[in-house]
Amino acid sequence: MTPVELLLRVVLLPAGVCAVAALLGWILARRSPRARDVCLAVGVAVAFGASLRAFDVRPDLPLKVSEDAWWWVVWFAAAGAVLGIVETLVRAPLALRVVLRAGAGFGAAWLLLKPLVPHALAADLHLEEAAVAGVATAVLWSVLADETPRPSRLSLVLPLAVALPAAAAILAVYGHAIVFAQALGALVVCVGTTAALALPRAGAPLLPASVAPVVALVFVGMLTAAIGYLNFGDTVSFPRASAVLLVASAGCASVRSWKSALVLALLAAGAAAWFAYGHDVAGPSLE
């Protein structure tokens, strides 16, 4: 693949889709801010799916046996948009929302890891990994969906601007999984374009809460898939500690000060890279 093709598929295509969604959202915001948020969530999901489709990741629903299980992330993005719309329109109690978020994360991870049992992953470990992913998804989703006023709107976006590219770089350099890095690169572009062009009301976060489930399900899903696909017995190309730290890096968005959030996100991402470096092995590339 040439650099121009890579630029088109990872950057220009998802950025263009998100830009159109942002324009439509800006038009709809004059009548209803909720309609704008719905439009932005759909835009991120569609842009992510379009980028992966350009790489010939075209999953059926449900996936065929011949299709890689990590392709589920395309449908996770779509499901995240639907869930974001539901949360935007229906205000359920916080406790119920957190439980449902954790359940969605657990179900997503279960779908990703189930095909790896028993030849690559033990059944009990499969459930354990899915449970951890469910908690991580609920935490990240809840942090990104928090719409309480902040001293700076950058505090929500900057940790993502660190965690997502760091994850892509770690998976490419140390995990030797170029295709996973490309998928996360597309997510970076989707989030960045949406945050830059969303034009929210004064005091509101740069990313609407409706986008939170899309980012959380796809990001945690990709990290979960990386653990399942890149670790084989004693060979660890992507340590669990790196995945946890990358989620923590994105979760630094809970810190209200953008400077503190940025520093903490950088430290967590750097620690994730350090753990991956310590486990780096020369292995076959996942392309």
**What is the predicted pLDDT for the residue at 286?**
62
Tens digit of each residue's pLDDT (9 = 90 or more) over 214-262 = 999 999 999 999 999 998 877 888 999 999 999 999 999 999 899 999 9
Greater confidence, 33 or 162? 162
- In the block, tokens 């998804």 appear at 137
Q: How far apart are CA 243 and CA 89, in angstroms?
A: 32
What mean pLDDT, rounded, does the chain reach?
Answer: 91
Is the bond preceding residue 118 a cis peptide, omega within 30 degrees? yes
Give the pLDDT band (50/70/90) at residue 281.
low
Of the candidates 29, 5, 34, the residue with the CA atom closest to the CA atom of residue 199: 29
| CA atoms of 253 and 1, how far apart (whole Å) | 35
Q: Average of pLDDT values for 163-167? A: 98
What's the pTM value of the predicted model, to 2 decimals? Answer: 0.94
Q: How far apart are CA 159 and CA 139, in angstroms?
A: 14
Write the CB contacts of 40 (distance below 8 Å, at least 6 apart in sequence): 18, 21, 22, 25, 194, 198, 208, 210, 211
> Any idea which residue has 């660890």 for tokens?
236
Which residue's structure tokens are 């503190």? Answer: 260
pLDDT at 190: 97
Find, among 234, 184, 128, the residue nearest to 14 by Cα: 184
Give 85-139 pLDDT, tens digit per residue.
999 888 889 899 999 999 999 999 999 999 888 876 777 788 999 999 999 999 9
The rounded distance, in Å, linking the Cα atoms of 17 and 10 is 12
How far apart (Å, rounded) are the C-alpha atoms in residues 109 and 106? 5
- Calculate the alpha carbon distances from 98 to 77, 103, 135, 237 in Å: 18, 9, 9, 32
Compute the distance between CA of residue 147 and CA of residue 144 in angstroms, rounded to an integer: 8
> Would you say 151 and 257 are in contact if contact means Cβ atoms under 8 Å apart?
yes
